[in-house]
Chain A
Amino acid sequence: MNHFTSVVIGEDPPGSRTVKSVPFVELIGGRIQGVVSSGSDLARVYVSFFEVKTGHYYCCTNNNRPCGGLRGAPCKHIHELIAAAILEFGPNRVASYLGLEGKEVDVEAIATAIRALRGNEVKESPGIVFSRFLSYLRYCELSVEPGLVLEMGWFPS
């Protein structure tokens, strides 16, 4: 019921996930995009995206070297990224982002929908996603003065 409702009942609470392999994932601009750690080099990360309408995708290092795992199909980094999105945002939100409706929106349905898209590799500079990653990391460094934040009364968790 929407009538005079200030606080809505939350969707599925997001699941905890490890951030070692996928430090950053987001749903924005019609894409699932984010940053995946390199298994071998601490200083290197992969910047990947998957466009949900077309299935187009790309993955490269933060220094703009194409990922060696792209061989005509999304690499393992993109699969890791999508799996992290499902963990962090829950299958319902990811499914609805993909435009899937109805009851059958489990992880399997998401995987099927993604396989069915058959997009192309579309080369793109990692700059924008990488700078969004830096903005995201900034949240871990922002400080807050002690005191009650009354406004959070609208946001029970």
Chain B
Amino acid sequence: MKRLATLPSGVSETLELVGRFDQALMHGFARLGDDHRQGLDALTEVFAGSPLGEAVREAVESVGRAEFLPRSFLALASARVALLGAVHDALVAQVRTVLGRPGSVENENEFPSSRPPGSSATTLASTQQWLTELAISGLNHLEEPSVAPFAATLERLQATSDLVGLASLLTGFSNELLRGMSGSGSSSSKKQRDRPAFRWADLWSGAMVRTQELPAIPRFQEVAGTFTPLGLELQGHENFACAILHGIFDEGSARHVRIPLQSYKVGAISGPLIWDLFTPFAAPILSAIEGHKCLLISAGELREDGSLILRSAPKVGPASDPFAAAKGLTSLPTPPPLLRHPVHLAEPVHLTERTDLPLAVERLSDAPDLAKAVEEGASEMVGLLRFDRGGWRIQPLCARTKKGFLMNGEGIATARKKVKERPLDVLQERAGRLLRNKS
């Protein structure tokens, strides 16, 4: 693990280059200063001779002449995504060497191909246009009138089930941009300094490259077997909720998989209430986590991205031992090249001694008890190696305690029982009445 403290060569330099691009994006391409122009020239140099080289050179020249075309910003976004994809690949190679796990990253032609935009072309083009306008103004200088009108396009994206990745990303991004704006019209310079430039540039470029095509249809095999939970990961924002249950799936041979559950939602549905969105899977999953039990899966779809899709509600099985099961930990598959980014690195590990790696506190706000157990020196844990803030970090999923073990997600089943009102039912009833009256 100590070897993770030294980054692979080129990673720091690449991050610096990305950081210079981000300054231009925050400041706005309509008002580029000399520093920003030099940063963009550096980008042209790095890509010279590569497949993106010509597109990046043309884009930099064009924005330099104050010609702002979506095509140019798509090329710049692709350059930023490619740089972070390269960082991702170098980090995957590093962590797999350190852990003695097989394999480099999968290469491009092993992935099913993505599809042309078809009937979504117009919606995707207006998304590109909006992202272009954000870049021209600069993410530091946005006001409500430049963000709020995107809502109409966003509704169309959300209604396209093929585009849930892009739609949920942009819903979160535009919420975040709007949230940064004060209602009283004052915007202090402190606020500007605190804006997360790297993150917003991630979201901007990630969205931009996803406007070119529809994702591939996932390939899968039908499976049945025993699933030993390792811990829950909760993701989402005001309008989207994801619960990802990590575990070892055994159907003869064992491997690490994740069971994903996801849904759109409104802000008032949060905390334990989000599980109302995940019927009929919520009850058996939460009960298995709470009771330290396995899940018996009779009908599942094991996809190439390492996710296990449940076709019917699983049954709660016998007692589980996550640390014994962790001997079957394997790397999760790497995403297709366009979607690679260090933020998606989640290398499962079983640690049997204390680690010097910092806790991924940014991913543990829903797991205070687990974070505490690890900070107090748990002797053994299963977790995910993450990369952020320029270094490796550890996100525990479950940890050994005096009484046995503590797994993330414990307590949700109990908390859920205490909630009397079911906001989802109340709102759905309202929606039923009002939305159908309207039409």
Contact residues of A with B, CB < 8 Å?
Answer: 1-10, 13-20, 23-24, 27-32, 43, 52-53, 88-89, 93, 96-99, 101, 133-157
Contacts and interface: CB of A to CB of B under 8 A. Distances in A.
Interface of B: 15, 18-19, 144, 148, 151, 155, 158-159, 161, 164-166, 168-169, 172, 178-179, 182-186, 188, 193-199, 202-203, 206, 218, 233-242, 244, 258, 260, 262-268, 270-273, 301, 303, 305, 307, 309-310, 335, 339, 341-344, 346, 361-363, 365-366, 388-390, 419, 421, 423-424, 426-428, 430-431, 433-435, 438
A9 B342 CA distance: 17
A147 B303 contact: yes
Given A28-B148, A151-B206, A152-B242, A9 B426 contact: no
A19 to B, nearest CB: 4
A63 to B, nearest CB: 12
Given A2-B194, A6-B199, A136-B266, A150 B344 contact: yes
What 3 A-B pairs have minimum CB-CB distances, sorted nearest first? A99-B184, A137-B431, A152-B235
Contact of B426 (A16, A19, A28, A138): A19
A153 B270 contact: no
B243 to A, nearest CB: 9
B260 A147 contact: yes
A3 B19 contact: yes
A15 B196 CA distance: 24
A88 B271 CA distance: 12
A4 B17 CA distance: 11
30 contacts: A2-B198, A5-B196, A5-B362, A5-B388, A6-B343, A8-B196, A13-B271, A13-B365, A14-B267, A15-B270, A16-B419, A20-B426, A43-B433, A52-B184, A97-B183, A139-B239, A139-B265, A140-B428, A144-B164, A147-B260, A147-B307, A147-B309, A149-B168, A150-B335, A152-B168, A152-B240, A154-B199, A154-B203, A154-B343, A156-B233
Contacts of A154: 169, 172, 199, 202-203, 206, 343
A101 to B, nearest CB: 8
A144 to B, nearest CB: 5
Contact of A137 (B258, B344, B430): B430
Contacts of A96: 182
